[in-house]
Amino acid sequence: MRRITWMMTSLMLVLALALAGCGKKDAGSLSKDLDQKVSKLESYQGSGKMVLYTGQQPQEYAVDVSYKNPHYYRISLTNEKKDIEQIVLRNDEGVFVLTPHLNKSFRFQSDWPNNQGQVYLYHSLVQSIVADKDRKMTTDGKDVVFDVLANYGNPTLVRQKIWLDSKSYSPRHVEVLDANTNIMVTVDFDTFKFDASFDKDSFDTQRNLTGSLSSMPTVAGTDGKAAGTDAKATGTDAKASGTDAKAAGTDSKATGTDAKATGTDAKASGTDAKATGTDAKATGTDAKSTGTDAKATGTDAKATGTDAKATGTDAKATGTDAKATGTDAKATGTAAPSAAAKTVTAVDPWYLPKGVALKGSSDITLGGNPAVMLRYGGTYNYTLVESKPADKAVAALPGKMVSLGYTLGLLTGDQQKTLTWTYDGMEYRLSSGDLPFDEMVNIAQAVQGDSMK
């Protein structure tokens, strides 16, 4: 009897061990799977929403991320509330921060993102999981959730929780926390696709500078056509018709209330029509056109470019040979720059380190461009220079890329450090010999969003 009991107990133990071996993978096994997946990754494309809780009010951004092996990255960050888009781009030419609607480009010498994690990059999320040997893992419905250290180069961001689909390992949700477990950043992915296909110029600097690609993958092809309320078309002869029609391509055409067209010979027609391209043409009540030979026709028509022409009641044209025709027409060119171009309205950061106060400000010239210098003193001493550089300004400086959430910055210097970043056409330079790095980031994050004056 005892022998039978012992045999039954042994059999049950063997079965239990076998069942355990066939169960769900542990954190270590999943970490190895993720490491292998990233090592074989050829491409991916994802989109969603990022919210920053680092300011007085939460700031929401639409995020579109593209990656192609070996080192091509494109990240579009759009503040839809303010209609401001910035694109972080890495290609064979370097790392760029682009502001398409202002035709501005800034280049950095950096191997980003190899040594600088980003919360919206799949590589960064996986590397965080693999690197943290004390990682914690739980399940949440169909997702696996990792609780690991954050590695974003910002000392205030301590830990993060990462939700991954348990089958495909695609990212679904991310929360980044501070030392007090307060949520500082969240990212929600609406879509994420591995082995995504891209046009050959998707990571081209000029293509991204002359027209945003973040919202144009709906129709792709040589003669793409789309019709509807939010119609979007992409291609050589792309055409879109509808209330919010958008078209991108060499000969793109868009027709509708808020029509937008981007391309070499872009044409847009509608109440708030906008056209961007070499020979861009826009027609409508509030028509706006940007390009070398830009032309705009309408009540409040605006044209910007070398040979810009605008016709309408309040027509405005800006460019070397700008021409404007209308009741209150205004033309701005090389020989007659407007007074507004000579001044910069300072943005006073809403955040100051404890014991620091504004000591004064002065108008200066930086690289031939108007600028404002704000001087601060007290516990720490530093200056903040704000300027509006010329279009396509290039800053090829070696340094460390710093994530500010809504854009990237460049940290240079040793004893005297300078953090440089751009946002909506403005360039900011924060310099100090005693300001801690985390305070530099806090100040940089305090010049965007609703706090701007």
* Residue 102 domain boundaries: 27-194
E-strand ranges in 19-127 read: 43-52, 59-68, 72-79, 84-91, 94-99, 104-108
CA distances to 12, 156, 414 from 119, rounded to whole Å, are 46, 14, 27
DSSP readout, 313-327? TT-EEESTT-EEEST
Residue 185 shares a structural domain with residue 313: no
Among 232-236, 263-267, 346-350, name the most confident range.
346-350
Residue 189 shares a structural domain with residue 40: yes
Residue 10 has pLDDT above 50, yes or no: yes
For position 2, what pLDDT does the model report? 52
Residue 280 shares a structural domain with residue 189: no
**Residue labelled with tokens 């993978």:** 25
Q: What is the pLDDT of residues 319-358, one digit of tens each?
A: 544 555 554 445 554 433 343 445 678 888 989 999 999 9
Residue 275 has pLDDT above 80, yes or no: no
Residue 64 shares a structural domain with residue 168: yes
The CATH number of whichever domain residue 359 belongs to comes to 3.30.200.100
Counting every residue written for the chain, the total comes to 453
For position 424, what pLDDT does the model report? 83
Residue 323 shares a structural domain with residue 358: no
Q: Which helix (H) or strand (E) holds 29?
A: helix 27-39
Residue 350 lies in a domain: yes
Query: Sign of the C-alpha dihedral, residues 26, 28, 30, 33?
Result: negative
Token pair, residue 358, equals 């504004």
Residue 156 has pLDDT above 50, yes or no: yes
Angle of helix 122-131 relative to helix 27-39, nearest 10 degrees? 140
What is the C-alpha separation between 196 and 349, in angstroms, rounded? Answer: 40
What is the C-alpha separation between 254 and 99, in angstroms, rounded? Answer: 22
Start-to-end Cα distance in the chain: 87
CB 134 within 8 A of CB 146: no
Residue 241 lies in a domain: no
Average pLDDT over residues 3-23: 49
**How would residue 1 be classed by pLDDT, with cut points 50, 70 and 90?**
low
Residue 45 shares a structural domain with residue 127: yes
E-strand ranges in 299-416 read: 302-304, 309-311, 316-318, 323-325, 330-332, 356-366, 369-378, 382-387, 400-403, 408-412
Total of domains in the chain: 3
Residue 162 shares a structural domain with residue 60: yes
For position 131, what pLDDT does the model report? 95
Residue 333 shares a structural domain with residue 347: no
Residue 72 shares a structural domain with residue 160: yes
Phi, psi of 12 (to 5 degrees): -65, -35
For position 406, what pLDDT does the model report? 86
